[in-house]
Every structure is written in structure tokens, then in C-alpha cells.
């Protein structure tokens, strides 16, 4: 079984600017943000914890989501595609997306492969529009 991988881009740009660019790059690939979780604000409000800016965007491409759900309704457990934008210690910003191929690995449903491959291609294109993505193993 392969380990889940993230597609990652590091930008030398402020967090707020990067978030705006990520939204635009996702939209250009047919994704909208269904959900938005401001992790920094939530942890501060609930725990008094301080951390770098950290936003999770639940990105959805409706035609791809529909195809995945037509294959197996339980795939909804793995939707939407999360895209993380977070401040980097060096003053830049990291943008990460879990490789949608993980959906196939977790479910064992080979019929999801074409959907996952298309989603991966579109997410990779969005990240490439921001900078050169590199793959990293999630820890």
C-alpha cells in the first residue's frame, strides 16, 4: 500500500495574498470552496493556542464529485478535496493538497481511478499556476 502524498508549493508571498491566488487557481480548474476552516482562529478561540495562519479550503469540482459519488456513495467520506494554506516559518506560505489517488487506495475501488486522476491533474495544474509543486510524504 502506498503512503498518502501531498502536492506542495511554497510561495514567497504573504498569507492573505496566497489565499486569494489559491482561490483563483482552483476556480480556473473548476473547483469552488465548499468549506473554509480557519484553524488558527478556531484553536485560539477554543484553546487559547497561538499558531501560524492556517486555512483549510474544502475544494469541490461538482462534475468530479458527482462521478465519484456515482461510483460509490461512501466516497463522500473523502470529499471535498482539502487544500491547506499555511504560514511558513521562513515568512512565506505553503499550499498543500492531498493527492486524490489516495481516495482509490483507501477505498480499494479501481473504478474511482479515472476520477482521481482527473482531480489530481486539475489540482496539480492549480498548484503549478502558483509555483512548482513538489511531492512530499505527509507525516
Could you please report the per-residue DSSP string of 2-67? Answer: PPPEEEEEEESS-HHHHHHHHHHHHHHTT-EEEEEEEHHHHHHHHH----S-EEEEEEE-HHHHHH
Fold designation for 5-132: TATA-Binding Protein (3.30.310)
pLDDT recorded at residue 133: 56
pTM of the predicted structure, to 2 decimals: 0.88
Cα–Cα distance, 79 to 55 (Å, whole number)? 17
The Cα 123–Cα 29 span in angstroms is: 7
The fraction of the chain above a pLDDT of 70, given in percent, is 91
Determine the pLDDT at residue 5.
77
Residue 134 reports pLDDT greater than 60: no
Does the pLDDT value for residue 138 go beyond 50? no
What's the pLDDT score for residue 114? Answer: 96
Amino acid at each position: 500500500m502506498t503512503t498518502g502524498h501531498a502536492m506542495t508549493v511554497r510561495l514567497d508571498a504573504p498569507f492573505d495574498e496566497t489565499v486569494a491566488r489559491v482561490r483563483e487557481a482552483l476556480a480556473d480548474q473548476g473547483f469552488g470552496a465548499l468549506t473554509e476552516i480557519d484553524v488558527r482562529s478556531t484553536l485560539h478561540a477554543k484553546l487559547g493556542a497561538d499558531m501560524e495562519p492556517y486555512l483549510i479550503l474544502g475544494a469541490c469540482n461538482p462534475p468530479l464529485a458527482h462521478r465519484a459519488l456515482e461510483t460509490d456513495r461512501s466516497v463522500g467520506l473523502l470529499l471535498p478535496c482539502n487544500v491547506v494554506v499555511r504560514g511558513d516559518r521562513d515568512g512565506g506560505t505553503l499550499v498543500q493538497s492531498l493527492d486524490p489517488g489516495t481516495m482509490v487506495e483507501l477505498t480499494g475501488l479501481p473504478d474511482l481511478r479515472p476520477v482521481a486522476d482527473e482531480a489530481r491533474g486539475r489540482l496539480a495544474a492549480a498548484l503549478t499556476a502558483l509555483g512548482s509543486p513538489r511531492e512530499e510524504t505527509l507525516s
